[in-house]
A and B are shown apart, each in its own frame.
Chain A
Amino acid sequence: QKEVEQDPGPLSVPEGAIVSLNCTYSNSAFQYFMWYRQYSRKGPELLMYTYSSGNKEDGRFTAQVDKSSKYISLFIRDSQPSDSATYLCAMSESGAGSYQLTFGKGTKLSVIP
């Protein structure tokens, strides 16, 4: 079993829809949970991060972490065509291991106008 599992999609939704992206993981030592967004022919860029369990909201984006289930989610409300990208979850341990990111394979999202 891979350390981080992420459904690669592709996921296609109409503009305005609520999008749910998810990852599961097996390493209980992970403490930092991140979502990176990668546009076509670009490098990934950090969208949001959460420390340990809980929710974090930033505009139309909400990140949720459930450490008991080893499950993280990213919700996008009122999705826009500009949200079309590949979304990568990433995780790391705390302390000296915080530099080492373990990535999911990415979910490709298309928001159709």
Chain B
Amino acid sequence: DADVTQTPRNRITKTGKRIMLECSQTKGHDRMYWYRQDPGLGLRLIYYSFDVKDINKGEISDGYSVSRQAQAKFSLSLESAIPNQTALYFCATSEGGSGQETQYFGPGTRLLVL
């Protein structure tokens, strides 16, 4: 079974709709992240969480919100989806510490906003 899972894998929605992307992990990591990936722009950090009570904005948080329901679960919400939020969304986890941190990515959610 995959260590980091994301649901749904694909989603089509309309402008103005609220949607939620979910991430679960079985790695036991405290740190979780949400990224979006766009052609020509690479991976950009949306939000990150170092534990259940810790939520931080990343580079591009406007238009998004998150919820850390448990150590293993981290959800990303688009309150009112717009077409330029069409992208590939990845959840990632890491163990934490001050040294090199390997981030483990989920398989991604492909979102299309019409």
Contact = CB atoms under 8 A, between A and B. Distances in A.
A105 B40 contact: yes
Name the residue among B40, B103, B105 with the largest chain A CB count within 10 angstroms. B103
Interface in A85-113: 88, 92, 94-96, 98-101, 103-106
The 4 closest A-B pairs by CB, nearest first: A43-B105, A105-B42, A103-B43, A32-B100
Contacts of B41: 105
Interface in B86-114: 90, 92, 94, 96-108
B34 interface: no
B48 A42 contact: no
Given A6-B42, A43-B107, A99-B96, 5 more contacts: A42-B108, A44-B43, A98-B97, A100-B45, A105-B41
B103 to A, nearest CB: 6
B4 interface: yes
Chain B residues touching A, range: 20 to 34
B31 interface: yes
Contacts of B107: 41-43
A6 B109 CA distance: 24
Contacts of A96: 98
25 contacts: A6-B42, A32-B101, A41-B107, A42-B107, A43-B4, A43-B90, A43-B92, A43-B105, A43-B106, A44-B105, A45-B105, A46-B104, A51-B100, A92-B100, A92-B101, A94-B99, A98-B97, A98-B99, A98-B101, A99-B31, A99-B48, A99-B94, A99-B96, A100-B45, A105-B42
A31 to B, nearest CB: 9
A49 B102 contact: yes
Name the residue among A44, A88, A96 with the largest chain B CB count within 10 angstroms. A44
B103 A101 contact: yes
B101 A43 contact: no
Given A42-B108, A43-B90, A43-B108, A99 B43 contact: no
A98 B100 contact: yes
